[in-house]
Amino acid sequence: MSEVPSLLQTRQSIRGNRLVVSCVSLLLALAVLSLVGPLVSSYSVDTIAFDQSFIAPTLEDGRLFGTDDLGRDLFVRTLKGTQITFLVAIVATLVSLVIGVLYGATAGYLGGKIDAVMMRAVDALYAMPFVFFVILLMVVFERSLFLIFVAIGAINWLDTARIVRGQTMSIKQRSFVDAARLTGVSSAGIIWRHIAPNLLGVVIVYITLTIPQVVLFESFLSFLGLGVQEPQTSLGALVSEGVSRMERAPWMLLFPASFLALLLLCLNFLGDGLRDMFDPKSHTG
């Protein structure tokens, strides 16, 4: 039994690496396309032209993805939507990261009763139906990108906090932390300067695992009309418009939907591959 798994593992890690590399390249290509495409195209994202509505995708006039019911160019809209989706993914993930790392590192570093209370709170929060709470937020407050960043970021930090706490507890027993404490560095200083940098590996894995969740949730909100609002658009909002017109103009659904699916597939494969590389035990096979 002993030689076979190791051989298999090597082969799998190479395969995993190749998958990770191709996912990263595809994501970069999508990002570049979404930034450059709208600049190159001669159409704008929100110019309404009723005489141009429902043009099927064609190479003529650069209507690569066709137009929607209001005659807006779908190529530009899909790429602009991808931009917003990327933006929300990055900012909301950063928000969740800051909360998760600070919370987890504080609990893990301080330990004892404070740690117990803080982690009990996390356990209780796991049972909360956050999705419904975020929708409540969207009902009560003015819907804005800022609110979306904060709301989505604020619900995705629980896993990060748990993992970071565990890591912190093992890091704080290392001698350089003792040395810092003896020279009189405050707890906050030690967490920020000595513990946080050492959490980088784990944090990178959890960033890649959080991003697809954030993207999925943002597009879910936008699909329901509770996320990104006009004149801005996101892939979720475009899919929602596409669904309402899918019998008349299937391309309105298919292009944004494929972009979203491709994006999520890449992000999930990337997160999975990185987790296997950093922590082979977490996942069998």
Partner 1 sequence: MLRFALLRILGAIPTLFVVIAAAFLLVHAAPGGPFDSERVLPPEIEKNIRAAYHLDEPLPQQFARYIKGVLQGDLGPSFSRREYTVSEIISDAWPVTFLLGAMGLIVALSFGIVFGLTAALRRNTVVDRLLSGLAMTGISVPVFVVAPVLVLLFAVHLGWLPASFSGGTGAGRFILPVIALALPQLAYIARLFRASMIEVMESDFIRAARAQGLRTVSIVRHHAMKPALLPLLSYLGPAIAAVLTGSVVVEQIFGIPGLGQHFVNGALNRDYTLVLGLVIFYAALIIALNLVVDLLYGFLDPRIRRQ
Buried b (16+ CB within 10 A) or exposed e, 210-224: bbbbbbbbbbbbbbe
User: Any contact of residue 21 with partner 1 (CB under 8 A)?
Assistant: no
x/- mask, partner 1, residues 88-127, rule CB under 8 A, reads ------------------------------------x--x
User: Any contact of residue 278 with partner 1 (CB under 8 A)?
Assistant: no
Biggest distance spanned by C-alpha atoms of the chain: 75
Closest CA to 148 of 96, 196, 189: 96
User: Any contact of residue 136 with partner 1 (CB under 8 A)?
Assistant: yes
Closest distance to partner 1 from the beta carbon of 16 (Å): 12
Closest distance to partner 1 from the beta carbon of 145 (Å): 18
Give the separation between CA 134 and CA 130, rounded to whole angstroms: 6
Angle between helices 200-223 and 130-140 (to 10 degrees): 60
Those residues whose C-beta lies under 8 Å from the C-beta of residue 72, and which sit 6 or more positions away, are: 43, 45, 46, 47, 48, 49
User: Any contact of residue 283 with partner 1 (CB under 8 A)?
Assistant: yes
Closest distance to partner 1 from the beta carbon of 73 (Å): 22
Among 39, 59, 139, 200, binds partner 1 (CB under 8 A): 139
Tokens 């709301």 -> residue: 151
Tokens 């809209």 -> residue: 77
- Compute CA distances 239 → 77, 234, 257, whole Å: 11, 9, 6
Among 73, 241, 272, 276, binds partner 1 (CB under 8 A): 272
Pick 108 or 212: Cβ nearer partner 1: 212
Closest distance to partner 1 from the beta carbon of 41 (Å): 24
Pick 164 or 221: Cβ nearer partner 1: 221
Pick 128 or 179: Cβ nearer partner 1: 128
Angle between helices 74-110 and 200-223 (to 10 degrees): 130
Question: How many residues of this chain bind partner 1 (CB under 8 A)?
Answer: 44
Give the separation between CA 277 and CA 211, rounded to whole angstroms: 18
Closest distance to partner 1 from the beta carbon of 276 (Å): 12
Contact 207, 93 (CB under 8 A): yes
Contact 206, 159 (CB under 8 A): yes
x/- mask, partner 1, residues 140-159, rule CB under 8 A, reads xx------------------
- Positions touching partner 1 (CB under 8 A) are 8, 124, 127-129, 131-133, 135-141, 212, 216, 219-220, 223-226, 236, 239-240, 242-243, 246-247, 250, 253, 257, 260-261, 264-265, 267-269, 272, 283-285
